[in-house]
Amino acid sequence: MNPLSTTIAEQLLNGLTLGGIYALIALGYTMVYGVLQMINFAHSELFMWGGVAGALFLSFLPADAGGGALIAAFVVAMGASGILAMILDRVAYAPVRRSSRLTPLISAIGASLFLQNLVFLWRDSQMAFPQPLAVRSFPCGPVTVNGLQVFIVGGSVALMGALTFFVRRTKMGKAMRAVAQDADTAELMGIPVNRVIALTFFIGGALGGAAGVMNGLYYGSVKYNMGFLPGVKAFTAAVLGGIGNLPGAMLGGFLLGVVEALGTGFLPEPEWKDVFAFAVLILVLLFRPSGLLGENTAEKV
């Protein structure tokens, strides 16, 4: 195999790994948007919160704690981020639910500033993310596959599968879809709308928290401001797939990850890679605001 296609294969693999993380975060944006038609601007902090919670939990355990500790770290991080998401909704969003569009956005920026600086005050430098399992690499055709990459892609796909099952097949999932379609009518039909909203925030936050742990494992550290860039990129992924659309967020996440990784592989300066996501975001919003899988909805009068 020639070196060019090896580079492409390697970057494809990196892209899928990144994409899995983006897709998990994007699901949080898209779920909240689907139910409340609101951009949860502080969602990137839930991702950071999960990463920090996971790192903190693992730092209390012995260094070679093994797979069980890793699973436990995921549970802790997802719980921490999920609960924080519910608190965020109660404190910052619920009181302004009926005001103009601008007010919840301002409240969200405030919450984002608050959460980021809460962690900043606790620790202003980066914190190492413990690796409970030794990472093995194995050759797979022309490229070397890292065990972590397999784990992240597999884990994110499994979580997405569980979410799809929940939304499509369970009663609560049905209630969620009903609220997304029309909250007022759903309430008249006896659906506990507030509980559905709380659950939506919990699940969105938990998925973000899981992504935070994966990100920590992959890059080896967590920091108070780690949420900003992945947050904007995941939002781009959600918009790319069609905001409010679950399969769209997954597709958008993987697509953006791959595009970014391929772009990085061929760019002279790696820092320009962040421009990619923003450029994609602006172009999608300008030319196809409904995204790849989203339906065209006329603005309500």
Partner 1 sequence: MRTPLKKFKSYFWAGVGVAAFLAAPLVLQGTSWAFVIRILALMGLYGLLALGVNLVLGYVGLLDLGFMAFYAIGAYTTALLSLRGVGFWWCLPASVLAAVTVRTLLGWPVLRLRGDYLSIVTLGFGEITRIALNNWDSLTNGPKGLSLLSSAAVPPLRFFGFGIQTNTHFFYLIFALLSLGLLVCARLNRSRIGRAWMAIRDDELAARAMGVNAPRLKNLAFGLSAGFAGVAGAIFARWENFVTPESFTFWESALLVAMVVLGGMGSLPGVLVGVALILGLPEILRSGVFRWIGGAQAVNARYLVFGAILVAMAIFRPQGLWPRRVDRLPAGNE
Is there binding between residue 109 and partner 1 (CB under 8 A)?
yes
Q: Which of 183, 221, 227, 300 is nearest to 47 (CA)?
A: 227
* Per-residue interface string for the shown chain with partner 1, residues 4-43, x marking contact by CB under 8 A: ----------------------------------xx----
Separation of first and last alpha carbons in the chain? 58
Q: Which of 112, 99, 109 is nearest to 224 (CA)?
A: 112
Segment contacting partner 1 (CB under 8 A): 114-122, 152-160, 186-194, 211-219? 114-122
Question: How many residues are present in the chain?
Answer: 301
Q: Closer to partner 1 at the Cβ: 159 or 284?
A: 284
Least Å distance, CB 215 to partner 1, is 19
Least Å distance, CB 269 to partner 1, is 6
By the 10 Å C-beta count (0-12 exposed, 13-18 middle, 19+ buried), 283 is classed as exposed
Is there binding between residue 87 and partner 1 (CB under 8 A)?
no
Is there binding between residue 110 and partner 1 (CB under 8 A)?
yes
Is there binding between residue 274 and partner 1 (CB under 8 A)?
yes
Is there binding between residue 101 and partner 1 (CB under 8 A)?
yes
Widest distance between CA atoms in the chain: 63
Segment contacting partner 1 (CB under 8 A): 54-62, 108-116, 184-192, 211-219? 108-116
Please, how many CA atoms are within 13 Å of residue 83, restricted to the half-sphere of its CB? Answer: 6
Residue 252 CA to residue 256 CA, distance in Å, equals: 6
By the 10 Å C-beta count (0-12 exposed, 13-18 middle, 19+ buried), 150 is classed as middle
111, 160, 222, 256: which one binds partner 1 (CB under 8 A): 111
Least Å distance, CB 14 to partner 1, is 20
5, 117, 170, 185: which one binds partner 1 (CB under 8 A): 117
Q: Restricting to residues 190-249, name those near partner 1 by CB under 8 A.
A: 228, 232, 235, 239
Judge contact between 262 and 15, C-beta under 8 A: yes
Angle (CA) 239-27-190 rounded to 5° is: 110
Least Å distance, CB 55 to partner 1, is 21
Segment contacting partner 1 (CB under 8 A): 20-28, 157-165, 170-178, 267-275? 267-275
Segment contacting partner 1 (CB under 8 A): 12-20, 64-72, 159-167, 276-284? 276-284
Segment contacting partner 1 (CB under 8 A): 100-108, 146-154, 178-186, 252-260? 100-108
Binding site for partner 1 (CB under 8 A): 38-39, 91-92, 95-96, 99, 101-107, 109-118, 120-121, 124, 228, 232, 235, 239, 269, 271-272, 274-275, 278-279, 281-282, 285-286, 289, 299, 301
